[in-house]
Amino acid sequence: MKTTACSRRGVVSVRASKGKEQGSAHRNLVASKGKKSSSSSSSSSSTSSVKKVEGGRRGEKGLIAVVGDAAVVPPARSGVAGQILGVAVVAAAAGAAVGTFVQKKLAGKGKEEEEPLGVPLALPSASLLPKDSAALAENIGYHSKYTAGGLPLRFTLPQAYQATAQSVGERLLERWDTTFNNFETENPKMAYYLSMEYLHGRTLSNAVNNIGLHGEYKDALLKFGHKLEEVESEEKDAGLGNGGLGRLASCFMDSCASLDLPVWGYGLRYKYGLFKQKIEDGLQAEVAEDWLDMSNPWEIKRDLVTYQVKFSGAVKNGEWVAGDEIQATAYDLPIPGYDTTNTISLRLWNVEAESGRFDLKSFNDGDHLSAHKSQIKAEDLCSVLYPGDDSAEGKELRLRQQYFLCSASMQDIVATFKRRQTAQVGKINWQSFPEKVSVQMNDTHPALSAPELMRILIDVEGLDWKTAWNIVKKTCNYTNHTILPEALEAWNMEMMESLLPRHMEIITRMDKEFRSSLRRSSGESIEDFQARLENMAILKNVDPVTLRKPERKASIKVGSKLSAAAVVAKEEQDEAEEPLPDPVVRMANMSVISAAHVNGVAAIHTEIVKAETFNDFYNLWPEKFQNKTNGVTPRRWLAWCNPALSKVITKWLGTEEWISDLTLLKGLEKHAEDPALKAEWVEAKTAMKVRLAEYVKENTGYDIPLTSMFDTQIKRIHEYKRQLLNIMAVAYRYKKIKAMSAAERKDVVPKVVMIGGKAFATYVQAKRIVQLIVAVAKTVNNDSEIGDLLKVVFIPNYNVSVAEVLIPGTDICQQISTAGMEASGTSNMKFMMNGSLTIGTLDGANVEIREEAGPEHFFLFGATEPEIPGIREDRAAGKFVPPPTFAETMDYIKSGVFGGETFEELLGSLEGNEGFGRGDYFCVGHDFPSYVEQLEAVDEHWKDQDKWVTSSIINTANSGKFSSDRTIDQYAREIWGVKPHAVPEL
């Protein structure tokens, strides 16, 4: 018979011999209505024959692949008799294919028959891939020879990584294809998560743990003389994200899979990532990420899953005639759930160098660069995450990236809906779209999803405006991640019209209808109503009637009796006036208007969103707004990254169930004073500090003493996150120690301060902060007079893998942002889970962390969010008096003690009363004294190690709330309306 399947490169038909074993070769991957599939057994699908296959032996021919009408014999080394190396499940009809099919040889004899099956939802299979260490070792050996690209007679670590990744990938494919097949057949409501970034770190370590084969792969690799941990370290972090936004998105994907939720993620495949950070001559330098230089064994390119994305051009007779079209090609990454078959997809869009964009004539004429110009412009879309936007070209590229993500994703989502509707009910009912689809916009980057869905429904599918708008309003949801004005994106309207003319028509109508729907409140004056309307509108700086850029009204009336000199003077005055501001499209406002639900990401953040950022919208639609406090996956961020502490936790709880139900950690609290637990806790923490110290030595050259307090702040570098406050306190501490006598120094708590994070390439002030940290570290660490009493380390190129080493080895973490400016933070949650104490402000999730741990286990300092506006007003009025300790530290740094630099430009931001880059907007000076005071309280707490260890245990025991499993469960129930859809076990 013949079935259709999808290989890594597209759709093929598989024609297999019909014989006595055909019945055992064909089974449905997933039994309907939740019943487990049963694997047929035969001599040809026994474990022993599987081992032969995975060792790379070949049997007689018996299967051909058919592409169109052409029969293709499998490559000599592509398959082995009687086995599956992967299973395909695909629905290619609408271009939303998923699955990888590696051919199966059927040993039976007989006349071949071909039966067209159409879209394959139940493909031939055989026994499951073996999972014992001996079989895995044989499989790794096979891939080392045939797929890892290594040298003969050698098995180096890079080769071992590639071979192991291929082996693990096969086992993920079993789960992945089974999951998609189940979703395709049973058609549950799906949630689709759109994010410009994902920061999921290394895949190998997470995958082998989530699918429960860590021990087996560890033993298998030992047969080759390699440790699994060393092989895992060969993998480079995926360059798909930058900070908390991307890390959160990846945590959410892990939780969705682990909770059996039918969810897909969408993003872009950045070739060079954000950047790789280096420190050269004391300054940050940026070079391109190289994560794809050696290929990515986890991704599957879907050659037949492509969509055309239009740009520029004009709308003629209601039709968008594009000036340029770029093809989006899908690359899929599997996201395996923990202790479940469910494995979901993260689909990344990429731009390929299409041959049609190559100008052969120019090339042959000798103009080689021009020949590639069109290809280069297209490929720029997926070159770099967050390209510099100081130039008009940079701004346009960012907008193009955002639309590219939204357009390809929405086209794919609509195609999936249509395919499943057709298969299930035989026709497409657009009214059921919101019943089958929920779209989550992760911040404003994917805000164009709403107008793009409108375009597809109206221009492509033929729906009327009212019907389409009702669908969009029930489908889209928006998560706000920041209240920083610069992060609430507003795109230049002229640029938007040039790049997306059809969308500007749609957005303008959205804005017009919203304005028309707004009504004056009881007792509201006309002026207040107009102000409220302008604050809520999508288009800003436009004429309220035409919704276009307003024309400056003539200041000289026709017929007025002015002398020629007076007219000239008036014209000159008009010319000297400030130009009218450019009209902009406010993406946050558009997101709120088009969303069914809007959520903040921490309790205090959501209250600020409702009371300030979107107060007018909240008053209009209070039912739209929710809080969804962020969380992190306890698998990667505790169970897998901290094996020493995890072992202790499991022993004292008597179960591993905490890995999927983090609230069980509460059971540790009753043992918090038990000397036996404390001893094991300290031993586990010390083991992680040893690992961290080795990492620091290897990557910075600095030796750090294990008996010191390890104090860590790891975040992207930003003024509101206040790494400047941290390093200024370090300088103050250094100055104090230098002034002490030998006897006084005996009472000093030894401390290692570690700071890591990337400063955005064009963020000059952030890069100056990095410069100061590096300079302080160099001076302090080379001062033999103070020895090990103080060490300072800047951790270069901070990423997920680095965090997995830093967080378990940390004693206290710094969460010191200006109150009211951090939406949530997630590193604070990771540190808490791993037994770190926190010094911080009442900002973001710190508020809830302090509530859970208890005030006595949290070191609080600084102004609160309601106090911040008054502090800034007093500063602007000249009422601020610098605290003595702050002034002393400023003068000390300016003296040139740290490498001869005075850092005047950096410290100038903390001086003056107001103005751009002046006036200490982030309140470093105000909070400095209370910060130093709490650092001293931390020292006193550390001196009582018994008390400190109790606090550490209490923090871990009360971190259960901050699991992303809890967060995602709330999204699923309260926003998406998506239910768990468990795939039967393999």
Task: State the catalytic residues.
Answer: 481, 715-716, 721, 826, 830
| Exposure of 723 in the CB half-sphere (CA atoms within 13 A) | 30
Within a 13 Å sphere around the CA of 925, how many CA atoms are in the beta-carbon half?
A: 24
What's the rounded Cα separation, in Å, for the pair 471 and 488? 25
| Cα–Cα distance measured from residue 506 to residue 403, given in angstroms and rounded to the nearest whole number | 14
Whether the CB-CB separation of 55 and 146 falls below 8 Å is answered with: no
Question: Residue 238 and residue 236: Cα distance in Å, rounded?
Answer: 6
Return the SS3 of 2: strand
> Residue 35: helix, strand or coil by DSSP?
coil
Evaluate whether 99 touches 88 at the Cβ level (below 8 Å): yes
Rounded Cα–Cα distance for residues 692 and 764 (Å): 30
What residues pair up with 70 in beta bridges, in sequence order? Answer: 67
**What SS3 class is residue 87?**
coil
Whose CA is closest to 89, among 159, 180, 223, 150?
A: 180
- Cβ atoms of 85 and 53 within 8 Å: the answer is yes
Helix, strand, coil shares, percent, the chain, to 5: 50, 15, 40
Give bridge partners of residue 438 from the DSSP assignment. 191
3-state secondary structure of 763: coil
Residues 455, 463: Cα–Cα separation, whole Å:
10
Numbers of helices and strands, H then E, in the chain: 37, 26
Number of other residues whose CB lies within 10 A of the CB of residue 391: 11
Q: How far apart are CA 759 and CA 681, in angstroms?
A: 35
> Which has the closest alpha carbon to 584: 514, 693, 488?
488
Q: Evaluate whether 786 touches 708 at the Cβ level (below 8 Å).
A: no
DSSP summary character for residue 611: I
Please check whether residue 544 is in contact with residue 511, taking contact to mean a CB–CB distance below 8 angstroms: no
Q: Is the dihedral of CA 136, 140, 141, 143 positive or negative?
A: positive
| Single-letter residue type at 706 | L
Confirm if 983 and 185 have CB atoms less than 8 A apart.
Answer: no
> Residue 351: helix, strand or coil by DSSP?
strand
88: helix, coil or strand?
Answer: coil
- Phi/psi region, residue 187 (left: phi>0; alpha: psi -120 to 50; beta: rest), is left
User: Under a CB-based contact definition with an 8 Å cutoff, are residues 799 and 201 in contact?
Assistant: yes
Is residue 932 within 8 A of residue 893, CB to CB? The reply is no
Cβ atoms of 839 and 816 closer than 8 Å: yes
To 5 degrees, how large is the angle CA 677–CA 679–CA 685? Answer: 100
CA distance 400 to 394: 10
Length of the chain: 986
Buried-exposed string 660-694: b where 16+ CB fall within 10 A, e elsewhere: bebebbbbbeeebeeeebbebbbebbebbbebbbe
Pairing of strands 319-321, 314-316: antiparallel
DSSP, res 974: I
CA pair distance 497, 502, nearest whole angstrom: 8
Would you say 388 and 394 are in contact if contact means Cβ atoms under 8 Å apart?
A: yes
